[in-house]
Amino acid sequence: MSVLFADLVGFTSRSEEQDPEEVRELLAGYFDSARRVIERYGGTVEKFIGDAVMAVWGTPVAQEDDAERAVRAALDLVAAVPELDERLRARAGVLAGEAAVTVGAEGQGMVAGDLVNTASRIQGAAEPGTVLVGEATRRASDAAIAYEETGAHDLEGKAAPVVLWRALRVTATRGGALKYVGLEPPFVGRGRELRLVKELFHACIEERTAHLVSVIATAGNGKSRLAWEFQKYTDGIAALIRAHRGRCLAYGEGVTYWALAEMVRMRAGIAEGEEPEAARAKLRQAVEEHVAEPEERTWVEPRLAHLLGLEERQVHEREDLFAGWRLFFERMAEQQPVLLVFDDMQWADPSLLEFVEYLLEWSRSYPIYMLTLARPELVERNAQWGAGKRNFTSIALEPLSAEAMEELLSGLVPGLQPELSGQILTRAEGVPCTRSRQCACCSIVVCWSAQATSTGRRGRSRRSTSPRRCTR
C-alpha cells in the first residue's frame, strides 16, 4: 500500500489577507484539483484536513505499480498548485508499506498505522514545491522516476533518522519501459502547453468527443519532447488507452497514408516487410478483436488491407476507404479511448490531412484524441488546416525564454562556468535542440563534461562533431 500526504505552504498567512469567500473558493479549487489528479492515477482520497490531503493506493485492490502512480500523482499535484495561486506552493510525502485497512470503509478511516503517521511526517519534512519519499517507495518506483538523496531526517515519533529521497521527474513509461538512454535534458518552459494537452485529452474522454490538437514549431523547439512527456503521462494514469503513433515520410513510394498505416500495423502487431499471408492473418485477428459485428468486419478488413498494401486487386473510392478506416477506430473507441499521434505532419500528403479532418468531423461523438506534430511548413502549404473545425486546437511553440534555457543548462551540467554558459545560451538562441546545430546545448555540454571528467578540471569547450540524440 502507498500513502500520499500533501499540504499547502503559506496558506494560513495567505488566508489572513483575503476575504473568507475568496479563501473558500481557493481551497475548493485546490481540493477539486487534488481529487482530480489523485483519481486519474487510480488513487482514493482518504480525507481532507484543513489545507492537507491524504490519499491511498492499494485498497481495495493492490497493483504492482501503486507506489509509482502515487509519486506521479504527487509530482503533478505539487506542479498544479501555483496555477491556482502563484503565491502558493504545495509539498508532498509518499510512503509505501503495510497498514491496517478497514474492509468496506470509504473515505476517512480506510487505513491506519505507522505507515500513515510516517507519511505525514515525511510530507512535513519536504521543502515547498517538492516531493519526498521513503526508501521503500524509491525502490519500487525508481525505474520510472528520477530521485536525488536528501540525507537522513529526524522525524517525530521515529527512533532513528530516516533516509529520504526527493522525486525529481518522470523519466519513462510505466515500470521503466521506453526509458531514455543517455543524457535527458530537464523538461522546461513547456509546462503550460503540456497541461493544455492533458486537459484537452481528459475533456475528450469525459465528454466522449473527438478532438484534434495541432502542435506547430520549428525544428528543435520541443514538439517531440512535448509528445514524449504526454506519452509518459498517459501511460501512467489509471485509464486504459489505445495509443497509436505514426510518422509521415518526406518522400518514397506509397507514403500517402504511411503514418496511418503504421498505426494499424502497430495495432495488429504486423512488422514492416512481413509476409503478406502472415500480415493478413494478424490484420483479421485485430479486426475481430475490435469490431464485433460480422458484417462490419467483412466490410472493414479489405479496406484496412488496402491501406497496408495487402489487397491491391480491389479498387475503392477514397470516401469508401475513409469510411472503413473511420469505423475501425470508432469501434475501438467504443471500448477504450483512442489516441493517435502523427509525427512530422509537415510532410503529410493532402489526402492524409483530409482524412484527419474527416475523422474529427464524422467521429465527433467518440473519444478519439488526435495530436499532430509539425513544422510551420504545414500551415504555410495548407492555410485552411483545421479552419472552422469543431474541437480543433492549435498550439505554437516559441523559442524558450532566457530563464528556461538557463534552467535547462543548469539541469544538464550544474555549476557550469558563467562564461561558458553564456556562450552556449547565445549560440542556442532559445532553441533547446536542433540537428543543424548538433544540439546547440547538449553536444557542447556533453563535450565539456567529458573533458572535465577526463582532466579533472574544466577545460575549454569545443563543439562536438559526433551525432548525438536528444529528446526534442
Smallest CA-to-CA distance from 210 within 432, 389, 448 is with: 389
Confidence of residue 138 (pLDDT cuts 50, 70, 90): very high
Confidence of residue 105 (pLDDT cuts 50, 70, 90): low
CA 227 to CA 418: how far, in whole Å?
32
14 Cβ partners below 8 Å, 6+ apart?
23, 26, 85, 87, 88
Judge whether 372 and 213 are in contact, CB under 8 Å: yes
Residue 221 pLDDT exceeds 50: yes
Q: Residue 163's beta-bridge partner residues?
A: 152
Residue 101 pLDDT exceeds 60: yes
| Co-location of 427 and 378 in the same domain | no
Question: What would the pLDDT profile of 53-90 be if each residue is shown by its tens digit?
Answer: 999 999 878 899 999 999 999 999 999 999 888 889 99
Judge whether 413 and 448 are in contact, CB under 8 Å: yes
Question: What would the pLDDT profile of 403-437 be if each residue is shown by its tens digit?
Answer: 888 888 888 777 878 888 888 888 888 888 744 33
Return the beta strands (E) in 73-144 as ranges. 89-96, 100-101, 111-112, 131-133
Residues 187-206 have a mean pLDDT of 95
| Co-location of 264 and 413 in the same domain | no
Instruction: Specify the pLDDT at position 160.
Output: 92
| Co-location of 406 and 386 in the same domain | no
Residue 466 pLDDT exceeds 60: no
Residues 169-188 have a mean pLDDT of 86
Instruction: Specify the pLDDT at position 432.
Output: 81
CA 330 to CA 363: how far, in whole Å?
7
| Co-location of 226 and 349 in the same domain | yes
In the numeric block, the cell 485529452 is attached to 201
Instruction: Specify the pLDDT at position 427.
Output: 84
- Listed residues 134, 151, 175: the one ending a domain: 175
Q: Find the range with the poorest average confidence among 78-82, 145-149, 250-254, 451-455.
A: 451-455
Is 106 within the bounds of a domain? yes
| Co-location of 49 and 148 in the same domain | yes
| Co-location of 349 and 247 in the same domain | yes
Residues 233-243 have a mean pLDDT of 95
Residue 336 pLDDT exceeds 50: yes
Instruction: Specify the pLDDT at position 183.
Output: 73
| Co-location of 14 and 105 in the same domain | yes
Query: Tell me, what CATH number does 35's domain have?
Result: 3.30.70.1230
- Listed residues 354, 375, 396: the one ending a domain: 396
How many domains in the chain?
3
| Co-location of 103 and 38 in the same domain | yes
Query: Tell me, what CATH number does 201's domain have?
Result: 3.40.50.300
Smallest CA-to-CA distance from 269 within 241, 251, 253, 289 is with: 289
Higher pLDDT, 416 or 51: 51
Percent of the chain with pLDDT over 90: 65
408 Cβ partners below 8 Å, 6+ apart?
185, 186, 188, 189, 400, 432, 441
The residue type at 367: P
CA 435 to CA 472: how far, in whole Å?
10
Instruction: Specify the pLDDT at position 458.
Output: 39
Residue 323 pLDDT exceeds 90: yes
Instruction: Specify the pLDDT at position 447.
Output: 45
Question: What would the pLDDT profile of 346-377 be if each residue is shown by its tens digit?
Answer: 999 999 999 999 999 999 999 999 999 999 99
| Co-location of 324 and 433 in the same domain | no
CA 224 to CA 351: how far, in whole Å?
23
Confidence of residue 103 (pLDDT cuts 50, 70, 90): low
Is 247 within the bounds of a domain? yes
Instruction: Specify the pLDDT at position 457.
Output: 41
Instruction: Specify the pLDDT at position 425.
Output: 85
Residue 146 pLDDT exceeds 70: yes
Instruction: Specify the pLDDT at position 351.
Output: 96
Q: Find the range with the poorest average confidence among 58-72, 153-167, 440-454.
A: 440-454
Instruction: Specify the pLDDT at position 225.
Output: 93
Residue 42 pLDDT exceeds 70: yes
Residue 212 pLDDT exceeds 50: yes
Confidence of residue 453 (pLDDT cuts 50, 70, 90): very low
pTM of the model: 0.87
Confidence of residue 470 (pLDDT cuts 50, 70, 90): very low
Q: Find the range with the poorest average confidence among 41-50, 172-181, 328-337.
A: 172-181
| Co-location of 392 and 427 in the same domain | no
Is 37 within the bounds of a domain? yes
- Could you list the residue range(s) of the whole structural domain that residue 56 is in? 2-175
Residue 283 main-chain phi, psi, to 5 deg? -65, -45
Residues 140-165 have a mean pLDDT of 94
| Co-location of 331 and 412 in the same domain | no
Is 186 within the bounds of a domain? no
| Co-location of 159 and 197 in the same domain | no
